[in-house]
Amino acid sequence: MPPRVGLFATCLMNLFRPNVGFAAVKLLETAGCTVEVPLDQTCCGQPAYNSGDFEATRALAKQLIEAFEGFDYVVGPSGSCMATIRKDYPRLFADDPAWRARAEALAAKSFELISFLTDVRGVSSVDASYAGTVSYLDSCSGLRELGIKAQPRLLLGSVDGLALAEMADTEVCCGFGGSFCVKYPEISGRLADDKLARLTETGAGTLLGGDLGCLLHLAGRMKRCGSPVKVFHTAEVLAGLAEGSGIGGAVEGGGQ
Amino acid sequence: MKVSSPQFKAKVVTALADPHLRDALGQSRKGFVNGRGALVADLPEFEQLRDQARDVKNHVLANLDHYLERFEAKVTAAGGQVHWAADAEDARQIILGICRRVGAKTITKGKSMVSEEVGLNEALEAEGYQVIETDLGEYIIQLADEPPSHIIAPAIHKTRAQVAELFEAAHGGPRKTTVGELVTEARLVLRDKYFRADVGITGGNYLVAETGSSVIVTNEGNGDLTQTLARVHIVTSGIERIVPSLEDVSLFQRLLARSGTGQETETYTTFSTGPRRPGDPDGPEEYHVVLVDNGRSKMLGGKFQDMLRCIRCGACMNHCPVYGAVGGHAYGWVYPGPMGSVLTPLFVGLDSTYDLPNACTLNGRCQTVCPVRIPLPELLRELRHAQRQAGLRPAAETRALKAWRFVAERPRLYRAANRLAARALKALDSGSGRLTSLPFGQAWSGLRDLPAPEGRTFLELWQARKRP
Instruction: Render each residue's pLDDT in chain A as its tens digit; 256 residues.
Output: 899 999 999 999 999 999 999 999 999 999 999 999 999 999 999 999 999 999 999 999 999 999 999 999 999 999 999 999 999 999 999 999 999 999 999 999 999 999 999 999 999 999 999 999 999 999 999 999 999 999 999 999 999 999 999 999 999 999 999 999 999 999 999 999 999 999 999 999 999 999 999 999 999 999 999 999 999 999 999 999 999 999 999 865 434 3
- Give A 57-96 residues with CB within 8 A of chain B: 59-60, 63, 67, 91
Q: Does B368 contact chain A (CB < 8 Å)?
A: yes
Taking an 8 Å cut-off on Cβ atoms, the answer to whether B365 and A171 are in contact is yes
Taking an 8 Å cut-off on Cβ atoms, the answer to whether B365 and A173 are in contact is yes
Which chain B residue's Cα is nearest to A249? B433
- Give A 133-162 residues with CB within 8 A of chain B: 140-141, 144-145
Selection from B151, B114, B362, B159 nearest residue B259 by Cα: B151
Residues in chain B with CB shorter than 8 Å from the CB of A20 are 458
Distance CA A90, CA B128 (A): 57
pLDDT of residue B467: 54
Selection from A37, A35, A237, A25 nearest residue A137 by Cα: A237
Selection from B290, B195, B174, B196 nearest residue B234 by Cα: B290
Q: Model confidence over B291-308: pLDDT tens digits? A: 999 999 999 999 999 999
3-state SS assignment for residue A93: coil
Distance CA A140, CA A146 (A): 9
**Amino acid at position B411, single letter:** P
Residues in chain B with CB shorter than 8 Å from the CB of A65 are none
pLDDT of residue B441: 87
Q: Model confidence over B163-183: pLDDT tens digits? A: 999 999 999 978 998 999 999
A35 strand-pairing partners: A5
Domains of chain B: 21-298 (3.40.50.10420), 405-466 (no CATH)
Minimum-distance CB partner of A63 among B397, B409, B422 = B409
Q: What is the pTM of this model?
A: 0.96
Beta strands in A57-159 (DSSP E): 73-76, 110-112, 129-137
Residues in chain B with CB shorter than 8 Å from the CB of A173 are 321, 361, 363, 365
Domains of chain A: 4-119 (no CATH), 124-238 (3.40.50)
The order of strands in the sheet holding A110-112 is A34-36, A4-7, A73-76, A110-112
CB of B32 closer than 8 Å to CB of B314:
yes
Query: Apex CA B368: angle with CA B362 and CA B374, to 5°?
Result: 80
Q: Does B452 contact chain A (CB < 8 Å)?
A: yes
pLDDT of residue B319: 97
**ipTM value of the model?**
0.96
3-state SS assignment for residue B219: coil
Distance CA A22, CA A241 (A): 9
pLDDT of residue A253: 42
CB of B197 closer than 8 Å to CB of B188:
no
Minimum-distance CB partner of A40 among B361, B382, B411 = B411
B209, B210, B214, B218: CA torsion to nearest 10: -110
Q: Does B325 contact chain A (CB < 8 Å)?
A: yes
CB of A56 closer than 8 Å to CB of B401:
yes
Query: In angstroms, what separates the C-alpha of B400 from chain A's closest C-alpha?
Result: 10
Distance CA A223, CA A242 (A): 18
